[in-house]
Every structure is written in structure tokens, then in C-alpha cells.
Structure 1
């Protein structure tokens, strides 16, 4: 809401988590929303520095008063959210593109007898629904989550609301910075692991930090995480990948990063492994100072890497090399 004071109704990328709770017979817990009176899954936006599972537990408690002991994040192939179909206009006129993850858990049907939503007005009613007998559903983000569950039991997907074309690629994060200064902002984006025929990893020395990183960057409104990975890989290196395999979503307080000029970001990043790489390696002028190929035992020390996010990207790569 603070951003809206300076940004207006224009599209913002909002990092969110959806919470899918089912009972012992597979019914889904839905809330009737206070903003539009329609039904959807519990969930909401991450607070600064928050990880997805912590946010899922918090949102579930706030919106239902319930605690789910087995709540967990879905695997990235099912849990990842983002793209043009995740566009929404709220009743107050605010436009958003939702990106993030889904969490799932189970509760006994009787748990609803003890539900106690907070007094924010976000939840008007809570009920269990069979997946083949759903009420009017609010927004595509909820329709897509329910279609995921329906697909598991052989039901067709729910129809989606029409969405406008995604805005042209620009510099969304940079445009926000001009209005809000150095304050922490979520920076959803993608990073890419690229290896050569000798199995060495491609690293780039970044012009803004002087540190080593992997190809990657920030998401634009309406862009999928994979499309972001492809775009950033090509922009920074001139390379293209036949396929990009999502490995892990990295998010939380460990991944806050402060740039030399003072900007603070909370990284929310999907790490991809590139396969079938082609093209000529041409470093992006100004953005990339140097490129290098590194074996497992040749990687730069941690202090020469661009923060915890990149250190964990490399640890994930090394782990894969040892399997």
C-alpha cells in the first residue's frame, strides 16, 4: 500500500503464496473474500524478508485461525506461479501480476469448527468444497491452483478470465527505485547454471558489484520465471538454451542483498539448469566486466561471489556434480 501512494494503479509484481488445505476426503478449504465476495484459497503477499512457508503459515492463521502441522511447499514444477495469466485487477483498481509458490497441507474436516479469522475483513466465510462442485472462484490465481488439484483426480481445468497482453519489457525494478529510493523491495527473478563440454560452470563478474555471479536478473511484469531466465541469459551472454530445468526456488531473509549504491533487495529467485546451450559468448557491455569457466575445485572464494544467493546457487550446482 505504501508503494501504491507513489505508483498509483499501474501493474506491480506481487510475491505471494497460496495455501491449499484439503480434508480427509479431498475437499478444499476456501474462503469467501471480503474484496469481491467470491471464493479463493487462503494466502497473500510475503512480508519483507519472509520465506514462502513462513508466509503460508502466517496467512493461514490470519485468514482462518487454523494451524496446519503438515503444511509444506509443493515441488517447484507444481508450486511455481507467475506469467501473464496471473494478472488481476482488484476492486479498488490496483493492477498486479502475482508470482510465487503454492503450499499444501491437510486438516480434518472438523478443524473448521474451530476456525477464527482475524478482524481484517479479508475472510467473510470459510467452507469445504468438493473439487467437482466449486463455488464462483475469484481471480485466475485461484482458478489455476484449483485446476492443479482437479487435474490430479481427472477433472478438467477451470476456465480462466481473459487477461491483457503483458506490458513491454522495460526496467520495472529500476522504475520503482526512482520513486522509493533505497528501501527494501522484493526482486523476483531467475538465475541460470550454464556449463561447457568440460563440465565447467560459467560465471560473470558483474559491473555493478565487481563480484562473480551467474547469468540472471529481475522479472518484468507478466513474465514467467523461465522467460526471464531466457531473456537474461541472452542479454548478458548472447547464449540461448534449448531447455531450462527449474531446480529450486530461493527466498527468505538469507537472500537480502545491499548494492554498493545502497539499494536493498529481497531476492526471490528460481535457479535453472540450461541444457542444449548454443550461440557465441558475448558479454553484455557495461553489465559484465569479465567471464570465466570454473571447475568444481576452481570456484572463486565466497567473498568474491555476489552475496548469499549466488553462493547457494553454486552450492546447488556442486551438489549436483557430486551425484
Structure 2
């Protein structure tokens, strides 16, 4: 299922799109930009993932489709630098489709002469390709492109570009539930965040979910207009009554190995950012009706893998365990 397939049943209403931006630089530090076919403005190659696709595969596909180029050294930028999220990444396309972009940025280098062999596909998405110095950028299409250019400008010691104003984000609702009413059980992306919370003895907080009876970290699904960090803070408070002075982004888990099929048949491709909570305050109060139990676990007391709620949860807790083993 592609984003355009989803649009046929969802219409122009705001969607959360898991997307990747591809930042290619030449030996002079210039960035490769495409003049877009929809608005005539400039941006980095990239676009929405297809269901079942990971970010690096999507980056390679989008680069090939929109430029005809391949980049052997293409890699995902690390978290948090490589994250795309937040209310600033709202965009309304000329055809009226509204979107909130969340996801990753990939980066690679190609020689300037590679552009001589560029051959975009015939979709009309790319009108022109050109190298631009970071201090002489053209009119950019949207804030996702401006944020990406700001990542590169920060690396080069340049000030950030201002972002365009965006409308207020919609109130928090239940986006995934509403989406499922339209798409049924078909696979689609579920962006969200989870939080590692430790007590003063270094133990990890886990919650037993009231419906699945499986153990999870505090966390949940991202709503339109939220950043991953905002989701983490909101879910942490809703599920536990706790708040953090600072949330440190550690890792993103996404790709086919993190697909989850719920008992009712709904299929989700997880796009999950793991945070560590610092300066935790409040009284632990499990969310009524959602959380049956909250418990602190030492490393040697953690539930077995089959008692954890998802592949993302197993990877996240393994990340915590590995961090514990390296502590002095």
C-alpha cells in the first residue's frame, strides 16, 4: 500500500506520512536539490515510504526515481539529528492534500560530475536537478526541506533558515483508530515513542497493558502535529502520572522486522523513537483501564521476550540492558 493508495480512501484530510529526505553533497559541500513538479520550488530528493519499507531502502528508491542516481555510501543520519518531526512539518500540496511529515534523513556524497548522468523517471516529480552552495540556496518548497538544509548548514557553521508559519496542530484524538476505520486491516505505519524511566536504584519501569497483558515501556502513538518527543512526554504522563525535565532521543526502530500484527488482524509497521527520561518527577499512578500493573525491574528480573508486547519493545529493552552492562 502506498500513500497514493491511502489518499484514494482517506481524501485530502491531514495524514501522518512516514517519509525520508535524501541529502546528497558533492566534494565542494554543495547539496543536490530538485525543482519539484508540483509547485516549481526546490527540495531534497525523498518522499513517503511504502508499507513494509525501511527508511534506507526508501531513500535509495526515492533517489533513484527522482534523480536516476545511486549512492553507495548512503546512510541514515543518527538520532536525533536525522529525525523529521513536529508541527512545523505540516504541508499542504497544491492539490489540497494535507500532510504531517515524520521520519528520517539519509546522507551521502557523490562527485559533482555524477549529475551529468542523472536521469529522473517520467513521473514529472523532478523538473530540474542542480548543485547549490549551502549559503546560496533557492526558494525551498516546504519546512521539511528547510529543516534538512538547516542540518547541513549547522554542520557548516551557518545560521538556520527561518521556517514558514504553519497552522495550529489539531487537538489530540485517536488518529490510528480513525485511520483503521477507513483502511481496515491493511499494513500501515504507526509512528510513536517509548520512554526508558529508571528509579533511584537504576531499575527500569515497565507497564503491563490491560488489554494484551504484555509488558511495555511507557509510550504510544504519535498524533498529527506532534513531535516524537511530545508524544513521549504526553504518553509518559497519561500512563504513569510522571513527567521528565528532559527526554533524550536514543534510537529509532523501523523496518520490516518491527512489523506487528494485532489479535484483531490490524497490521502496523512501527516507526518508534526510544527516549531516556531525565529528572523524573511525580507520583507513579498507572492509567486506569489501560495499565493493569506498573513495576520496577532490575536487569536480571526482566520479563521473558515472549512476555513483551512487540519487536520494538524487545529491541528497546535490549538497548537498555546493553547500556546497563557498560555502566561502571
TM-score where L is the length of structure 1: 0.98
2:25 is aligned with 1:22: yes
Whole-angstrom distance in 1 between the partners of 2:53 and 2:183: 20
Q: 1:150 aligns with which of 153, 162, 180?
A: 153
- Kindly indicate whether the alpha-carbon contact (under 8 Å) linking 1:194 and 1:274 is maintained by their aligned counterparts in 2: yes
1:282 matched residue in structure 2: 285
Alignment check: 8 A CA contact 1:131 1:150 kept: yes
1:168 aligns with 2:171: yes
Q: Residue 55 of structure 2 corresponds to which residue in structure 1?
A: 52
Report how far residue 167 of structure 1 moved. Answer: 0.5
2:299 alignment counterpart: 296
Other-structure match for 1:111: 114
**Which of 2, 5, 9 is the equivalent residue of 2:12?**
9
Partner of residue 188, structure 1: 191
The answer for the alignment partner of 2:324 in structure 1 is 321
Checking the alignment, whether the CA contact within 8 Å between 2:80 and 2:250 is kept in structure 1 is no
Correspondence for 1:36: 39
Distance in structure 2 (CA, Å) of the matches to 1:53 and 1:12: 22
Residue 79 to residue 60, structure 1, CA distance change in 2 (3 Å): same
**Among 140, 157, 175, which residue is 2:143 paired with?**
140
Out of 68, 72, 76, the position equivalent to 1:73 is 76
Unpaired runs of 5+ residues, structure 1, are none
Q: Report the secondary structure of 2:147's partner residue.
A: helix
Residue 178 (1) aligns with residue 181 (2): yes
2:246 paired residue number: 243
User: C-alpha separation between the residues in 1 aligned to 2:212 and 2:262?
Assistant: 7
Aligned-residue offset at 1:124: 1.0
User: Structure 2: where are the runs of 5+ without partners?
Assistant: none
Q: Deviations over 1:19-44 (max 9, x none)?
A: 00000000110011111111100001
> Does the aligned pair in 1 maintain the 2:214–2:309 contact within 8 Å?
yes
Q: CA deviation at 1:278?
A: 1.2
**Aligned pairs, how many?**
323
The CA deviation at 1:192 is 0.4
Deviation of the 1:149 alpha carbon: 1.3
CA RMSD of aligned residues (A): 1.0
TM-aligned CA deviation for residue 261 of structure 1: 1.6
Report how far residue 302 of structure 1 moved: 0.7
Map of 1:204-283 to 2, 5 A cutoff?
Answer: 204-283=207-286
Please state if 1:159 is matched with 2:196. Answer: no
CA contact (8 A) 1:209 1:260 kept: no
C-alpha separation between the residues in 2 aligned to 1:50 and 1:6? 21
CA distance in 1 between partners of 2:302 and 2:157 (Å): 47
Partner SS, residue 78 of structure 1: coil
CA contact (8 A) 2:31 2:132 kept: yes
